[in-house]
Structure 1
Amino acid sequence: MIINKNTKLIGNKVILVPYQKQHVPKYHQWMQSEELQSLTGSIPLTLEQEYDMQQSWQIDEDKLTFIVLHKESFEATDDEVASMIGDTNLFILSSDNKKVAEPEIMIAEQSAQGKGCGYEAMMIMMWYGIEKLEIKQFTAKIGQENEASIKMFKKLGFVQTKVTEVFKEVTMELNIDENIASNLKEKLKGLEIKQYE
């Protein structure tokens, strides 16, 4: 999505930056993992297809993506690729004139898993969706075996609304009201928004 191409979001643990060409080889390497393919419902792509995907994500109006950097690592090295730990996405949907988005988070680097990085990255992405895209509802689809993600989305306030046995996934939803939006802002009060160059 073009809206975020010059946006850098800096939290306490993570930094979100637009998905750029230099990020593709490491992202491609992650996605060779059968475990990550299973958890994200992805199919393996060639490196050339991954570059094409990165280009399309940059301009598609219904997809928003950020690469997640480990803040401490980036501040020590000033190297985005070395500091990459995952990505976060919003797929923009429409439902009865309500702006709905499907959020996704992947922390691919094992060293960064279970440390709250995915939780913070998802909060930042949700805030961005509410503030910049006027999202009114988030609908997450998560594999039934992905207990860590289900637990994280519950912590974010999502409620399970459906189980689809055929796809072995649960649907979790969060309707945004002023209370939820202000609580999210409060949790992210140290968030910095900078120009990405």
Structure 2
Amino acid sequence: MRLNQNILLLGKKVVLVPYTAEHVPRYHEWMKSEELQRLTASEPLTLEQEYAMQRSWREDADKCTFIVLDAERWQAQPDTTEESCMAGDVNLFLTDLGDPSLGEVEVMIAGVTKLGLTKFEAKIGQENEPSLRMFQKLHFEQVAVSSVFQEVTLRLMMSEPERQWLLEQTSHVEEKPYGARS
């Protein structure tokens, strides 16, 4: 999504940067892991397919993707590459054209203030206990189970108390232009 192409979110422990071609080789290496494929319900892709996927995620109006960097490593040396600091990714999918306030999220990000989202959904494999626990800690509640896809749907309704709680949890996060290291 072009909306986040120039946004860097700087937190205490992580930095979120737009997913660019620079990140693809490391991401591709991660996705060779059978465990990661299983936990994310992903299929292995060739490197060329991974570059095409990155371009799609960047261009598609219904996706907002960030790469998670280890903030300590990234800030330690100005010449450190983002690829060497990568720790994960964050994805937000706008899945319901009839409801522009709903976004499917893989990890919570600052969608509340920039995108006007009031509902977040996460679809997680039934066996993925670490992800289920993480989203429940973030106040998501189970709303559906699909035995066909072996996944659980969790939802967070962004009431005013939830919005205030989220803003308090992320009050230390700074939004900067992407490309600014300091």
Q: C-alpha separation between the residues in 2 aligned to 1:164 and 1:190? A: 37
Q: Is the 8 A contact 1:93 1:99 kept in 2?
A: no
SS in 2 for 1:101: strand
Matching of residue 132 in structure 1 with residue 114 in structure 2 = yes
Letter of the 2:166 counterpart:
L
- Distance apart, 1:96 and its partner CA: 5.2
> Percent of pairs identical after alignment?
51
Q: C-alpha separation between the residues in 2 aligned to 1:166 and 1:154? A: 22
Q: What do residues 80-104 of structure 1 show as CA deviations (whole Å, max 9, x unaligned)?
A: 1110011010010227545211111
Letter of the 2:2 counterpart:
I
Q: Is the 8 A contact 1:68 1:85 kept in 2?
A: yes
Which residues of 2 match residues 7-26 of structure 1 at below 5 A?
A: 7-26=7-26
Quote the residue 1:51 is aligned against: 51
Which residues of 2 match residues 1-197 of structure 1 at below 5 A?
A: 1-77=1-77, 78-94=80-96, 97-105=99-107, 122=108, 125=109, 128-197=110-179
Structure 1 outlier segments of 4+, above 6 Å: none
- Distance apart, 1:138 and its partner CA: 0.7
Letter of the 1:86 counterpart:
G
Tell me: CA distance 1:97–1:55, structure 2 relative to 1, closer, same or farther (3 Å).
Answer: closer
Q: Is the 8 A contact 1:142 1:171 kept in 2?
A: yes
Q: C-alpha separation between the residues in 1 aligned to 2:88 and 2:99? A: 32
Gap regions ≥5 residues in structure 1: 106-121
Larger helix proportion of the pair: 1
Q: CA RMSD in A?
A: 1.2
Letter of the 1:70 counterpart:
D
When normalised by structure 2's length, the TM-score is: 0.93
Q: C-alpha separation between the residues in 2 aligned to 1:55 and 1:95? A: 22
- Distance apart, 1:154 and its partner CA: 0.6
Q: C-alpha separation between the residues in 1 aligned to 2:103 and 2:157? A: 11
